[in-house]
Structure 1
Amino acid sequence: MKLGNSALRILAAVIAGVVVLTILGVVLLGNYGTPGVEFYHSGLSRDTSPNVTREDFAELVAGNTGFALDLYQRVRASEGNLFFSPYSISLALAMTYAGARGPTAQEMAEVLRFTLPQERLHPAFDALDLALMAQNSENFRLNIANSIWGQIGFEFKREFLDVLAVNYGAGLRGLDFQGDPEAARVRINDWVGEQTNEKIKDLIPLGAIDTYTRLVLTNAIYFNAMWQHPFSENLTADGVFTLRDGSQVTVPMMSWPKSESIRYSKGEGYQAVELPYRDTSVAMLVILPESFEEFEAGLTVESLREIVGGLERQNVVVRMPKFRFEFPLDLTNALAGMGMPTAFTDRADFTGMADDRLFISKVLHKSFVSVDERGTEAAAATAVIMELTATLPPPINVSLDHPFIFLIHDTSTGAVLFLGRVLDPRS
């Protein structure tokens, strides 16, 4: 059967339409193709060669370090061990800061120690990310990933999406928070698990996302590095570890088989040793105070700078415990108390993100660390959850202050299991 010219033109148009729709589908879904997730590109790709001066780079690092120690002082009252990634927190809040304006932005900049203007701050973060991940090798792995998750159909500003795409490699993934907040929560948690080698699970707990959620900004960081000078497994043995109250416990203590030339310093009230990792400039700095409480309370940028500046190569033999733990941290109250309360209220100004009023409902963080004879594995993730400012109707007050009848029933079948009354609550 032969087709006429008109039929051929119609067939060609149909084929072209299918091709266009297929291309559009790929653009919407990116390379993910995840059911229930729409992926929206800003139209711009990440800048892999940002033009950042050494001064801006150093200023960003100094500000991040200051924030790290400020936050440590705020959360150190927590019971037991403490571990978090200030870099992950700074990254997630830097993405949020890209949409902040007015007093909200001023408060965030002060707390986070963002001293660079926005047009220089975000490229500096991009440059720092790229410099850190450029060190990846067989013995050193560092993965830093960012993503933003928005309500499908909600209008976010193109300029905001562009800043995050160019400087953080973060695309906007569409989820239906309004229709199914629990499915959205699970999807974000799954992404965090994927990015952290399944070391961070359930970052966002049940109930933290609801139908008012419009945006979740996430950062995930995974670290796995081999010691330059591994500990000998044959020498690991039970040893005594003295707790803060003076009591002693028995823990597995690792030892080096011989002395190594590493950086060490001894100052008033402390010793410090730097344990290098293989094939990288990254190292673990361990500070051993004589009086822990006094030293911890006085730990500042200046004191840390003095410790690092005093490090010199010495022949050292190191013994240290093996350890492994997780640490969840809700930073909402801590950050508000540090000086950025407006971001968490209905007075928040995030009009750089969207015209509709948004505020931060929660900042959640979770971390994991494992130190053994071979090296260190660590992971962390941060989620900034943003909700739509809504005018809620006044609550209905129900005061059970006079006799009442009550029953316990099955809401699915209607079966009444218990029935009673309260005439006098005292008996």
Structure 2
Amino acid sequence: MTVTRPEHYRYHNGGKKDALPFTDQEYHDRLAGLHDIMELHGLDAVVLTSMHNVAYYSGFLYCSFGRPYACVVTKTDCVTVSAGIDAGQPWRRSIGDNITFTDWKRDNFWRVVASVTGEGKVIGCEADHLTMERAEKLNAFLKPKRGVDISAATMEQRMRKSPAEIALIKHGANVADVGGYAIRDAVRVGATELEVAMAGRDAMEREIAKRFPDAEYRDTWVWFQSGLNTDGAHNPVTNRALQRGDILSLNCFPMISGYYTALERTLFVGEVDDASLRVWETNIAAHEYGMSLLKPGASCSEVTAKINDFLEERQMLQYRTFGYGHSFGVLSHYYGREAGLELREDIDTVLEPGMVISMEPMLTIADGQPGAGGYREHDILVITEEGGEDITHYPYGPGFNVVG
């Protein structure tokens, strides 16, 4: 028997009922916003290739493993383009059509994309995500009349959350709190960073399954650090055993359908020395002051400047290592970012109701100095008409977080 080897096919296996994290109307509203961007720039089609934008507009969060993926949006259609290894999952987990490309012949992915967009059209793409190689292939196969980078415009849309997104993010913050309490309960002299991290991760995954029984579960994680390992916010977990007097960093990151939330807290094992307590309390004061500044009308650079002044007055600014907070939504440690909503000196975005942003000052004292270690507190706030609603509820400070 001769086997037909097609360039692509549709494998619509199963149904879409209750598979998406949001209602169909939520995705139609997002696509309507994208159509506004297309009209503004005179685009015939948009080729989205990043995990965050494909997930945001279609609902499908892909796992690339070296393969290209896309969501192609025209004036009438929304089509995800996926690899055969995923079978029917992209169809079930997307709002629109899905086409599977085969690997029988090189560049079948681009042939599928071109079949949806057509040749010689005005194409929107994500210039911050396309590699040089893939940009060349886009031009070779689509032969666009004109190309337009829409990465900034889509980021602007994602920065302003819908009520449904905010509801999901609040669930995520609640789940992070659950992980925080599980970590606190697991802290004891002799326990390893890995053991404590596993307790927090397991608690969060169980809580997500309880709240969202029809979801897909992936990528929830914990960074639990101790001693010298607290000096960086993204330091990986080790197998170091906790000792009395250690500084600890609790970092809980639940992932719900591509939506990332976080809880970060400073703790100490059993006791905290005077030098460490002074640094910790200063960082807590900066944290509380920073949260009071997060309200509509404040710009990211303005908030940053005020916290800088606050720390400089206390001779602590030199120990700050990064920005004071960032947006939340469809993003993760390995994909996605809404860089236009970060609390840094070079970001002038003005806060608006519907935005979601963290306050997370960190001070790092070098090893061998009094109070050595990294101190970080992190709360998530939803910007409302009245100000900032803090949706993080796990306590911070020495009254609760000297444990074990």
The normalised TM-score by structure 1 is 0.22
* Pair member with larger Rg: 1
Bigger share in strand: 1
The normalised TM-score by structure 2 is 0.23
Bigger share in helix: 2
